Amino acid sequence: MTALRNQQRTFRVRIMAAMAGGLVLAAIASQFIGAAPPPRSDLQGAPVLPGFAEVRAQASEIRVTLADETYTLFATPSGWRLSGTDGYPIRVDRLSELADGLETLTWDAPRTRDPGKMNAIGLGDPREGGNGALVEVIGPGGEVEASLVTGRKDEHIYVRRPGEMQAYRVTGSLPPLYSAEAWLDLDIIDINADAVSAVRLTDATGASLYLERAIGSSDRAFVPAPPYQEYQLVNRLVTTGPALALTRLQPLGVRPASTLRTRPVGTHITQTHDGLEVEVRPYQEAEGFYITLRAIEAGEGAHRGAAINERANGWAFQISQIDWMDFTPSVASIAQPPGSAGLDTD
């Protein structure tokens, strides 16, 4: 019996060894054979939008439909504009990126045909609440000349034709499409903090203050200047925000200045060492905080002043509440006249 059990044990060991060897051989074979090749399509390498160069040249509008909004870029004799802003200019670089991208996109490997998986790669139909972006290029007669649904997942761009369920990965690039405001050319002023020499403030009560500093001094070096030289700073730190407010300006949106319904809450005038002056008038509207800009052409700053006015005239720019506070401080919160309880502390 002992000999029989030993034979059975030996037989089991040999079987297990054979099975393990088979698994090793299978693993080695898989290294040489490789995984199944990715799916291919006859479209691979072909343009997504054939003949788009001609369509691009004749385009009058580009409409982008998202699940929560639709916006239109439209051509005018003076350039492209964004709908809903009464014709505010859009960024030329982003428009070129979009047009170049649509013209050079090529089909890559096909992906899913399952409607339930389209949102997973950013291709859900936005007209049905999906997460894709429907891009339609419209010709001079109002007809749609080219269209696609596009989306992103990780570093890849995916595309499908509207009304079709075959998704493809594509080769090329497109700008982000998921914010209408991102198209606005709101980079209207560029002043370095070191260039600011002074700021003149008038607050909501009508009180005024003039702060200045010497060339090369620190951001905390602004002090009351004539006729306010006897005023005492409440704290040196409180001058920096209002004095350099214009250098940090990042508008959130824009609307025609003619649509403002409130009166300005004081004024804020920034002066630079080279003679540029920019007057800001803040407005607290029901829809948010806005400012208007007017540059005074003076000295070496005249050229920049004209450029600022060309882009800012007639428009009101929406700003954040934090920026609003820097443009509209009360004079009493910065400095107080002689004999008051103000303190000048670091």
* 44 occurs within a structural domain: no
As a whole number of angstroms, the distance between CA 269 and CA 114 comes to: 59
The domain total for the chain is 2
Same domain (yes/no): 94, 142: yes
* 38 occurs within a structural domain: no
Same domain (yes/no): 202, 151: no
- Domain end marker among 156, 183, 210: 183
- Domain end marker among 137, 159, 183: 183
Same domain (yes/no): 199, 179: no
Same domain (yes/no): 171, 75: yes
Same domain (yes/no): 199, 175: no
315, with CB counted inside 10 A (0-12, 13-18, 19+), is buried
* 344 occurs within a structural domain: no
With cut-offs at 50, 70 and 90, classify the pLDDT of residue 23.
very low
Say what the pLDDT of residue 298 is: 63
The verdict on pTM exceeding 0.85 is no
pLDDT digits (tens, 9 = 90+) for 108-135: 999 999 999 999 999 999 999 999 999 9
Same domain (yes/no): 171, 209: no
Domain hosting 209: range is: 193-336
Same domain (yes/no): 218, 286: yes
142 vs 150, 287, 346, CA distance in Å? 22, 33, 64
pLDDT digits (tens, 9 = 90+) for 329-340: 999 999 999 877
Peptide bond into 227 cis (omega under 30): yes
Residue type at 23 in one-letter notation: L
- Domain end marker among 183, 212, 228: 183
